Amino acid sequence: MEFRDLKKQYQILKPKMDQAVMEVMESSQFIGGPKVKELEERLASYVGVKHCITCGNGTDALTMVLKAWGIKEGDAVFVPSFTFFASAEVVSFEGATPVFVDVDRDTFNMDVHSLETAIKAVLKEGKLKPRAVMPVDLFGLPADYDAIQQIADKYDLLVLEDGAQGFGGTYKGKRACSFGDAATTSFFPAKPLGCYGDGGAVFTNDDETAAYIRSLAVHGKGEHKYDNVRIGWNSRLDAIQAAILLVKLDAFEEYELKGIDQVAQWYTEFLKDKVKTPIVPEGYTSSWAQYTITLKSEEERDLIITKLREQGIPTIIYYPKPLHRQTVYKNHKLYVPCPVSEELSRTVVSLSFDPYRSKNLITGIVDNLF
């Protein structure tokens, strides 16, 4: 069994997908062009923001926003400790300091109390300048943007939504990747909306940020490609990936998002009396990048992983180490304790999952568990 069955998805989309890729090959317009433009317009309108700028991957998307905002050495960016490494890496890459914040046990997302405590600790120390907060929509569930925005306003911080896993989720009727001052996503194949390689995008309503990022992504271009006004780099989504994403976006909107929500409901129905199943609070919907259960102990988790593995059913631990425990950050100052991030890294496991599962298949997985 595949953890996320991308082969099955391709088999279903194959006629349209092959056609779309062939069209790009026949047009021989591989970089930029009408497919990329069409995709950016569709993504911006789906999310509900003015600008969408596609780029090479989700990590570049985050990096470009930080650069556009001039985040640099001496600046503090508040990042949850329980997330994928890239969320903090991009901050360090700019020479700024990621300040780790704990997460909420039920939503796995940034804990706003921990955030405010961390901001106060940084201000009290007086060495770093708080500049931005980077909430992550972990496992497909948007963070608590109203509460985060309130704190950001209070301390004059920019908000960058890391929506790499959040695309398709909603919060109080608004779509993920529309929150804060800018948002990013990733089209890595296993994300809610994935392409057949690497890809990413930045979303913003701010004209200036958008123009700056369009320049950064093409060698710091000015009026045109051979007019260079700043140091940038090369980060573009190619036309074949854009064509693939246009086909996938149709499926995503028409039935995949509904499909995966149904599969999640089956899991929850079968598992809720036995383990802690994911919580989607009132006012939120998840795009279910992962279906992640929480066990009582590391031992119980190991037992479940082993039982499933014996039946050929894969599981993945997202994430086995909170970021503040990563080797590269071992001498990094921790401004607030992150006990929940540590606990979750010992007790969570994500189950094999995608929109193309039948109820029987889910029953089969669950029956192997207990």
Ligand X SMILES: *Cc1c(COP(=O)(O)O)cnc(C)c1O
What is the contact surface with ligand X in residues (CB under 6 A)? Answer: 57-59, 83-84, 86-87, 136, 162, 164-165, 186, 188, 198, 200
Distance CA 324, CA 308 (A): 30
Query: Which one, 135 or 355, has the nearer CB to ligand X?
Result: 135
Q: Which residue is nearest to ligand X (CB)?
A: 58
Query: Which one, 87 or 345, has the nearer CB to ligand X?
Result: 87
Structure tokens at 104: 């909420």
Report in angstroms how near the CB of residue 83 gets to ligand X at its nearest: 5
Report in angstroms how near the CB of residue 262 gets to ligand X at its nearest: 23
Query: Which one, 160 or 362, has the nearer CB to ligand X?
Result: 160
Distance CA 64, CA 160 (A): 11
Secondary structure letter of residue 136 according to DSSP:
B
Query: Which one, 186 or 345, has the nearer CB to ligand X?
Result: 186
Report in angstroms how near the CB of residue 153 gets to ligand X at its nearest: 24
Query: Which one, 266 or 319, has the nearer CB to ligand X?
Result: 319
Report in angstroms how near the CB of residue 270 gets to ligand X at its nearest: 27
Report in angstroms how near the CB of residue 85 gets to ligand X at its nearest: 8
Distance CA 342, CA 89 (A): 19
Side chain identity, residue 223 = E
- Cβ-proximal residues to 241 (8 Å cutoff; 6+ apart), any chain: 187, 195, 196, 197, 198, 199
Query: Which one, 84 or 266, has the nearer CB to ligand X?
Result: 84
Alpha helices per DSSP H over the chain: 6-27, 34-47, 58-68, 86-93, 112-125, 145-154, 207-216, 239-251, 257-271, 298-310, 339-347, 359-367
Report in angstroms how near the CB of residue 154 gets to ligand X at its nearest: 25
Cβ pair 130, 78 in contact under 8 A:
yes
